[in-house]
Amino acid sequence: MNVPERKVSPATQMFQEAIGAAPGRGRMEGRHLLVVGAGQRDTDDEEVAVGNGRAISLLAAREGARVACADINQQSVQGTVDRITADGGQASALQVDVSDPQAISAMIEQARAALGQLDALVVNVGISHGLPLDKISAESWDKEHGINIRSHMLICQQALRVMEPGSSIVLTSSLASQRPTGRNPAYETSKAAQLALGRSVAMAGHGQGIRCNVVAPGLIDTPMGRAATARRADRAVNVPFGRQGTGWEVAYPMLFLLSHESSYVNGHTLMVDGGLGNSIF
């Protein structure tokens, strides 16, 4: 018997968590989190979408964590901190250029000083020039990989030296790590490298009980995602549920991986893509 496909409104999946409206439940009480990439790019959109880094910063603070928010954009990261403190949370702002190894070392020390200790880390920095293979220069390739993978290695390297036993690290990759359909090889290869780096960091940290996992979002309605949609208006045509995800829908899986709820999850990559990467779609 053939069962006809059931069509429902995209709003069916828009729970309170998906729009950032659910209350905190104390899931990060007593934790000390550094989010690298806690700001977000400027946009002229009338309704500004929340980015992944800002969403996890706000959510972790709502769940009881003290948060150090770092970004290259001082005004934007201060905006994240202001939203946290207005909500009754505890946060501080740090400015960092992750292309500078010395700035990364200073950021780790500043975060630990501001928080008192460091037992959770999210690395959420990345750039994309959106260039096809025949348009990539050596300089643009090196810059993209420098921000998207070298900085992650340096941040984790420095953080492992000071993080408390039992800490957790989450790296932000992308569905682009799995597929070449975006015709954006510098971005795709750098994001694929993050998956291997996550496993390497997990291996390096296991003696201290420090876990590292990777979240790989699919098509998400963030300022960066909207810029990609402007370049390719049909990019979300095959997304299950009939919509893109939200930054909050990326933040909640990150929250799980940062929390003690996921104490036996290590070296794992979690695809947060609504099923888009699954071959059945």
The per-residue pLDDT for range 149-168, each reduced to its tens digit, is: 999 999 999 999 999 999 99
Predicted pLDDT of residue 24: 95
Domains and CATH numbers, the chain: 27-272 (3.40.50.720)
Give the residue among 254, 175, 173, 161 at the shortest CA–CA distance from 208. Answer: 161
- How far is residue 215's CA from residue 235's CA, in Å, rounded to a whole number? 21
- How far is residue 244's CA from residue 221's CA, in Å, rounded to a whole number? 6
Predicted pLDDT of residue 43: 67
Residue carrying structure tokens 């492992």? 160
Question: Residue 187 catalytic?
Answer: yes
**Is residue 2 over pLDDT 60?**
no
Rg (alpha carbons) of the chain, rounded to whole number? 18
Spot the catalytic one: 108, 187, 194, 243. 187
Q: Tell me the pLDDT tens digit for each residue of 257-273.
A: 999 999 999 999 999 99
**Is residue 281 over pLDDT 50?**
no
Give the residue among 170, 128, 168 at the shortest CA–CA distance from 148. Answer: 128
Q: What is the mean pLDDT of residues 27-43?
A: 93
Average pLDDT taken over every residue of the chain: 91
- How far is residue 11's CA from residue 24's CA, in Å, rounded to a whole number? 23
**Is residue 227 over pLDDT 90?**
no
**Is residue 189 over pLDDT 80?**
yes
Phi, psi dihedrals of residue 112, rounded to the nearest 5°: -65, -40
- How far is residue 66's CA from residue 32's CA, in Å, rounded to a whole number? 5
Q: Partners of 94 in the beta sheet?
A: 70
Q: Tell me the pLDDT tens digit for each residue of 78-111.
A: 999 999 999 999 999 999 999 999 999 999 999 9
